[in-house]
């Protein structure tokens, strides 16, 4: 049955994979974008080209911190489901811009929840929670019942939204779910995130466009999966008979050094010859270890991750080598100037 879906944060990594899956299943997708001087839709441009002419995808300007505009949008779109993915999602940036991070993370989710309550309580709601909420103080496996110990403005804002989602579910009988997703990467990950920063650097080093790479703490360990797998879990959560909280994770943890080793060795290089440490990239309050237990989602929803760690790294490096080749051509034609660190051109 065709559904109408609203996705906040549709222009991000998860927004692309989620919209793609929903559109391929025959649903109509509406997405929110911020009214800024430069509209950055590059991730979803192919979806717009393919589906907009038939009215299956439509973008709307929206300010998630403005409750009236969100309420008007929901009243106009009349969605069956809402996926709230919008956030300032970079943890390190949240320390530099805590006010904006908190406003979007808290008021944004609350505005959507309240709009659903006041317009149509039967709209299903997905809240993008985060493994960063756990804090990672001890090397333990984390599940839906683990203690939340946020260590950043980003994580604190996610904890607020997580609890508000549960409050609206329990107080008003609304179908509200929290998806507690551990780190999930792809070739569409933002280039300031460490995994993509590494794969981009490998691609440029292979193409002789970059000489070195600057990073901070290399010992932090994360449970890394593929974003394309994780959005399928999001969809399953809203199709389940009852709303609940769900952890999505691979159950395996690797350090940033492990990611470096896998990425550089894939192209027959030694990362230690290229990586430069700089303390400015260290977080003020580091989350050292995150490992998730997604057994509940696997047993109840039938979800499981498909792409393993090694194949994920290879996918990202392959894509970024191709991207570096394109950059090299554009530089040779003097159509772009390199803007990355340690440029060799």
Burial class (CB in 10 A: 0-12, 13-18, 19+), 237: buried
Q: Looking at 10-14, 18-22, 84-88, which range is the least confident one?
A: 84-88
% of the chain with per-residue pLDDT over 70: 99
Residue 313 confidence (pLDDT):
98
CB 190 within 8 Å of CB 13: yes
Q: Looking at 206-210, 282-286, 303-307, which range is the least confident one?
A: 282-286
The whole-angstrom separation of Cα 66 and Cα 50 is 31
88 pLDDT higher than 80: no
Q: Which domains does the chain have, with CATH numbers?
A: 4-185+224-248 (3.40.50.720), 194-221+253-289+308-332 (3.90.25.10)
The whole-angstrom separation of Cα 68 and Cα 115 is 8
- Of 113-117, 133-137, 152-156, where does the model show the most confidence? 113-117
Radius of gyration of the chain (CA): 20
Q: Given pLDDT bands bounded at 50, 70 and 90, which one contains residue 222?
A: very high
Query: Average per-residue pLDDT in the chain?
Result: 94
| Choice between 280 and 25, residue whose per-residue pLDDT is larger | 25
38 pLDDT higher than 70: no
37 pLDDT higher than 70: no
Residue 285 confidence (pLDDT):
79
Q: Phi then psi for 18, rounded to 5 degrees?
A: -70, -50
- DSSP class of residue 298? I
**How long a stretch of residues is the chain?**
345
% of the chain with per-residue pLDDT over 90: 80
Residue 36 confidence (pLDDT):
63
DSSP H stretches of helix in the chain: 13-24, 45-51, 67-77, 91-96, 98-102, 108-119, 153-172, 194-206, 227-239, 256-266, 295-296, 309-332
Residues carrying an active site annotation? 130, 132, 154
- DSSP class of residue 236? H
């Amino acid at each position: 049955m065709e559904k109408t879906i609203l996705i906040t944060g549709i222009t991000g990594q998860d927004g692309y994979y989620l919209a793609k899956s929903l559109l391929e299943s025959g649903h109509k997708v509406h997405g929110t974008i911020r009214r800024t001087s430069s509209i950055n839709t590059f991730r979803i441009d192919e979806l717009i080209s393919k589906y907009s002419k038939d009215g299956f995808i439509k973008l709307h300007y929206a300010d998630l911190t403005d409750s009236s505009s969100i309420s008007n949008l929901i009243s106009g779109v009349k969605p069956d489901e809402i996926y709230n993915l919008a956030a300032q999602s970079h943890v390190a940036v949240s320390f530099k811009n805590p006010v904006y991070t908190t406003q979007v993370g808290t008021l944004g989710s609350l505005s959507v929840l309240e709009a659903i309550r006041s317009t149509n309580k039967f709209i299903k709601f997905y809240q993008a929670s985060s493994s960063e909420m756990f804090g990672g103080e001890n090397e333990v496996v984390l599940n839906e019942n683990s203690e939340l110990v946020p260590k950043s403005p980003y994580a604190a804002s996610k904890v607020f939204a997580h609890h508000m989602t549960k409050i609206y579910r329990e107080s008003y009988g609304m179908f509200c779910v929290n998806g507690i997703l551990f780190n999930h990467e792809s070739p569409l990950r933002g280039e300031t995130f460490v995994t993509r920063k590494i794969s981009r650097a490998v691609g440029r080093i292979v193409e002789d466009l970059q000489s070195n790479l600057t990073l901070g703490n290399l010992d932090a360990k994360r449970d890394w999966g593929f974003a394309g797998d994780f959005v399928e879990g999001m969809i399953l959560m809203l199709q389940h008979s009852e709303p609940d909280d769900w952890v999505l994770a691979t159950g395996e943890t690797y350090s940033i050094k492990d990611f470096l080793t896998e990425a550089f060795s894939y192209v027959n290089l030694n990362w230690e010859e290229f990586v430069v440490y700089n303390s400015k990239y260290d977080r003020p309050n580091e989350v050292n270890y995150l490992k998730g237990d997604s057994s509940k989602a696997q047993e109840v929803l039938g979800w499981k991750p498909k792409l393993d760690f090694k194949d994920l790294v290879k996918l990202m490096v392959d894509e970024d080598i191709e991207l570096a080749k394109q950059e090299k051509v554009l530089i040779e034609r003097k159509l772009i100037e390199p803007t990355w660190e340690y440029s060799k051109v």
